[in-house]
Structure 1
Amino acid sequence: MEGVSNLPGEVHKGDVDRTIRELDNAIKDIEEALKKVRAAPNRVSDSELKAEDSMEIMIKAYKDATESEPFLPSRASVLPALLAMRKAHQTTEQTKAHTLSQADVLNQTKKRVEEEQVNLREQRALQAALETRLQSLREGLETREEKTPEQLARDRIATLKKQKATFDRQTLVVMKDLDWFIENHLGAMLAAEELGGPVVGEMTEIDTQELTAGFNAHGKLKKVKASLGEDKRQRRIDEIWGGASEQQGARGKRKREGDEASAASAEMRDLTEQLLNQAMESGGDSSAAYIRIPRESAAVRFLVRSKVAEFHPKDANRLRLIDFGRELDD
């Protein structure tokens, strides 16, 4: 059984041996021919050959090679199969190497395709938006062409009036909210800072009745030992908040009425009102938007710290609102 199973292998081995012997014999024949040529007595050296001689030799060699029978292995030779296998192996290895080298190129190409697809979608979306915008402009232009200049002017005026009415309503809402914030929160904190307490924001919960006793040198509320006399308390309010109010008519009267928080609230309202009015009257001229302040009160310091107002660079007694609109226009 073992002899039968090894028979194909022995046959293949015998074919390989015969092929090797054939190749060895062919090599020996070629070597013998070379020896005879080299040993020929009338052999001419390469340096003595002329161009015509070399040409004749090459022509004769090509002619002999064409007319002579080519070397072919025997029918039982495995040389053709070995050559075919070697060629197939080389081709396979080259294909694998090329495939590996092209993997990075393939990944880069896929990424590029994805990027181009994204760009294409963005360009299509942009094109659609531009076409929509162009269509709306065309429709608006056609509508304008149908109207006379007087009609266009009336439409523009009506649009501006609607915008003004909207802005007025929004301004009223904002001013009401600001007034409520000053009255219920900011006034007490401003009064506390003015009386020697912490700056606005450090003490958010303040009882207006506790402001009667004032603050000590460390900024802490004093203990209320006895109620401060109404006259003395009113004199203190007039000394702090009444200096400028005497020249402001009804505004000054509001400051002198009520407690310290109410006086501070009235001062903040007056200050914001003056700043807003002056900003409107300046007509966009920043140098004309300043108002003159009698002193650097807690309300003034709060507006400056909040980046709402700013002092004149050369006069600390002049104050103006920061022109946010100019920054947006620029």
Structure 2
Amino acid sequence: MAQPHSDAIARIRKSVADARDLQGDAMVLDAPRTEARLEQTVRELQARVEQQQAALEQLRRSSQIDPLEAARASEDPRVKLKQLLAVKQAYTNLTPTAPFLPSMDSVLPVLLATRTLQQNVQSTKQAIASTQSQLTSTEALLRSKEADFHDANLIGNALRDRRARLDSQIEDRSQKAPAQLAKELIAAKRAQKERYDEETQRLGDALNDFVDSYLSAMLAAEELGGPVVGDMLNVENEILAAGFTKKGKAKSAKKPVSEKTRQRRIDQIWGNKAAVEEEEEPLTEAEAADAEMRELIGNLFKTLVGPGGGRAYFDLERDSAASRFLVRAKIAQFHPRDARRLRLIDFGRELDD
């Protein structure tokens, strides 16, 4: 029994020495020799498998005990004791038996080591990919949290400043008489109203300049069957006088259109209300569109500040290019069930569908 153990130890030492040599020197592959060693290893393994199968078959034939039944622990204590004794005897008999080791020229250890190394490399690659994905998501979450933290700091600073101002105002008011506070409040409201009136006047003048200089001619072109507002930026009076074709293209002005014909067309589209008082010359198409837009905006403002507030609609006399432009510009909106009713969008409130 000592001889197998000595041989096994010698093979183990030889394998260790070969492994160290392989680690220290570069491996030189000899294809014929490697193939022969593989075939020898396969034959050894097949022979070992056949040997174990023969031993198993011999054990089954010589024993009348069902292996499946013997593998289960019996409920009978005496039978269970016999099973434990048999297992103990088997371990006692197998302990001194030399384990199966491949031959010295076998490549089985190398194959097993290669398989283990490949598994480790694959698992390491998967771990790296998983870690990179987690790192990316963690960095994105960190940036989001940093942005939230920055916003929270800004909000906190603004709230502290606001609180300091309120405390200062409360302390200041507590030292003043009610009559003096009322005077200061009235003066502040008047100053605020003056600023609002000045800003309203400035914005109104800018709107009038925009309508007069740019928008009126484009509105007139759309009313005359030309392109939609914005498609033709430079619309001259000669183009408006000549008119547009059914396809929306400007007609060629080979001969000038008579003023009577132009005035009849203006009256048919915009009506006599477009005329301006104390004006001797008749209105052009752009001027008529300008007057209509101003009147429409004025009526919409009156409706907005009227009794119905932001929910009241203004009844249109006709579908005009001015009303369509205000809707496209998101300044006004039609009634959901009646396109002849229009109102300005009150940006101070929620939009109503």
Interval of TM-score (by shorter of Structure 1 and Structure 2): 0.5 to 0.7
Partner of 1:321: 344
**For 2:328 and 2:221, how far apart are their aligned partners in 1?**
17
Pick from 252, 255, 258: which aligns with 1:228?
258
Q: Which structure 2 residues correspond to residues 22-33 of structure 1 after superposition, within 5 A?
A: none
**1:176–1:81 Cα change, 3 Å:** same
**1:167–1:46 Cα change, 3 Å:** same
Per-residue CA deviations over 1:206-259 (Å, capped at 9, x if unaligned) read 331454455677765364646635x7755664554343358xxxx655697543
Partner of 2:120: 99
RMSD between aligned alpha carbons? 5.5
C-alpha deviation, 1:91, in angstroms: 6.8
**For 1:212 and 1:137, how far apart are their aligned partners in 2?**
61
**1:313–1:328 Cα change, 3 Å:** closer
Pick from 283, 291, 302: which aligns with 1:277?
302
Query: Residue 262 in 1 paired to residue 284 in 2?
Result: no
**1:97–1:264 Cα change, 3 Å:** closer
Partner of 1:309: 332
Partner of 2:138: 116
Partner of 2:226: 198
* Larger Rg over CA atoms: 1
Query: Residue 295 in 1 paired to residue 327 in 2?
Result: no
Equivalent pairs: percent with the same residue? 32
**1:281–1:93 Cα change, 3 Å:** same
**1:164–1:126 Cα change, 3 Å:** farther
For 2:215, give the aligned amino acid. Answer: L
Q: Bigger CA drift: 259-268 or 306-315?
A: 306-315
State the TM-score, normalized to the length of structure 1: 0.55
State the TM-score, normalized to the length of structure 2: 0.53
**For 1:139 and 1:301, how far apart are their aligned partners in 2?**
46
SS of alignment partner, residue 148 of structure 1: helix
Pick from 137, 158, 182: which aligns with 2:159?
137
For 1:206, give the aligned amino acid. Answer: V
**For 2:132 and 2:102, how far apart are their aligned partners in 1?**
41
Structure 1 unaligned runs (5+)?
1-11, 13-37, 39-44, 73-78
Say whether the 8 Å CA contact 2:241–2:262 is kept in structure 1.
Answer: yes
**For 1:137 and 1:115, how far apart are their aligned partners in 2?**
33
C-alpha deviation, 1:96, in angstroms: 0.9
SS of alignment partner, residue 319 of structure 2: coil
**1:146–1:322 Cα change, 3 Å:** closer
Say whether the 8 Å CA contact 1:309–1:320 is kept in structure 2.
Answer: yes
Partner of 1:207: 236
Per-residue CA deviations over 1:13-55 (Å, capped at 9, x if unaligned) read xxxxxxxxxxxxxxxxxxxxxxxxx9xxxxxx988xx979969
**1:217–1:149 Cα change, 3 Å:** same
Say whether the 8 Å CA contact 2:300–2:344 is kept in structure 1.
Answer: yes
SS of alignment partner, residue 320 of structure 1: strand
